[in-house]
Chain A
Amino acid sequence: MHAMMEISTLHYLVLGAALFLLGVIGVLTRRNVVIVLMSIELILNAVNLNLVAFSRYWQGLHGPSALHGQVFAIFIITDAAAEAAVGLGILIAFFRNKETVNVDEVNLLKW
């Protein structure tokens, strides 16, 4: 039980993996496009958690200025914002034409 009392980097990695799996399940099984996009945000967050946890591990090895993981995480957050904006723009354009937000009804190349 004492081993569980000290939170190590492995705890954060396992949590990140669990969130990643939840996001993957969401992307693969849901029909609603908005919820698929939200699952993609979950995946990106899991990756961010991994990066920041490893950045903390590196700080233990290389000193307090080893912040590369955190900088990478900031770039990923920026990128997620851009991707969410464009994805939702596509969704709106698509919804205007076909009146549905289900992924499996986008099955024609031209309508």
Chain B
Amino acid sequence: MHDFVQYILSYLGSDKTPGASGNIFWATIYVLLVFVGLSIAVIAMNWLERKILAHMQIRLGPMRVGPHGLLQPIADALKLLLKEDLIPEGADKVVFWVAPFIVVLAAFTVFVVVPFGPTHAITDMNIGILFMLGVSSLSVLGIVTAGWASNSHYPLIGALRSSAQMVSYEVAMGLAVVSAIMMTSLDGNGTLSMIGIVQAQFAQREWFLFKFFPLGVIAFTIFAIAMVAETNRAPFDLPEAESELTAGFHTEYSGFRWSLFFLAEYSAMIAVSSIAVTLWLGGWLRPFPNLLSGPTWDLAFSLVPGLAFLLLGAMCFYNTARMPKHPLFKIQTIGLAAFGAVLALIGLLMFLPPVRDRVGDIFWFSAKVAGFMYLYIWYRGTFPRYRFDQLMKVGWKVLLPTGLALLILTAIWAMRTQVWADVIIPAWTGFVDLLRSVF
């Protein structure tokens, strides 16, 4: 028994991820934490999407279910769980049953390597970014089988279109990712591991977004566009838009199975946003870790998580004060005040020194990913939808050549001294000698 406790505690003092130190217990705890965190994030995304879209469209969104619609996702989840489970006639039952699980598997397994901090990943594989790109491409299989198994033509066409779109934009994503990986090798130790990429950004004192000035930004832009297309979100959501194909590949899925697709879509959004944050925006690093370093700046920046939660709590209290003063609204007012109190309490908790030192990395990473989630919702509320041929044209004729050119330019610029000395000078002198020998 003492050995067991010793085994559990042997991880706490080390500075490695649970995977690197081979500790199964802590790896399981991390997996459960990521699972729970992801579920909370998806629930929050559901509410945020409806409210933010509504406010962008000058309406209010769900206001009835809880205070300001805060319990709406829970009501949605209950409704989905209690719906009748329909399987279309003639559908292949085994494949129909398995398809949502493939998509969820692909969307959740990706989080094994996502780095929330220098040691806060479940494991840090040597091939982290390759693993993430590969496993997220397994969701195409789930979509194709879901469309085929429904035995109906809307889902089949929707599935084929959706998978063609995802496969096309994966190529552009891969090229942008490779050009970012090339920037990690400038110090001599290039790496594919996610934690290594962020540490390379820290060592080179610059986010890869700003590196080699236009090249990093263009790579980030290509990835940002491709990742929206990869997750079938607006403006690239022709295969699943309701007015176009009656919801595409998940037309025949209802209730719990549809909620699995929904869960997988939002998890995939968070996953590709994590890739973008890790590769270009410095991962878990706080703003200016090298420029404004030192204990006072560290202390100042470590107060930001607590202040953010206190701000959220203050917004809740403000809205409580603005609630209509009618007896029917009493429960909602009390509920909102309680929610605000919980948020403020979490904020105060984050001011305590033990929590403050550890939560900073996770907070900055989550804040950057949350920024990307807001961008996703903003795109949905702003851009009109691409037609399918326009979509494929953008993927193959615009993003792919730009990605290739970017890759070549990044490679040349990263090795510019060697290219100058070993390629251009000998070629130029050889050419001049040739001319001299001819004339």
Do any beta carbons of A and B sit within 8 angstroms of each other in the complex?
A: no
Chain A residues near B (Cβ < 8 Å): none
Chain B residues near A (Cβ < 8 Å): none
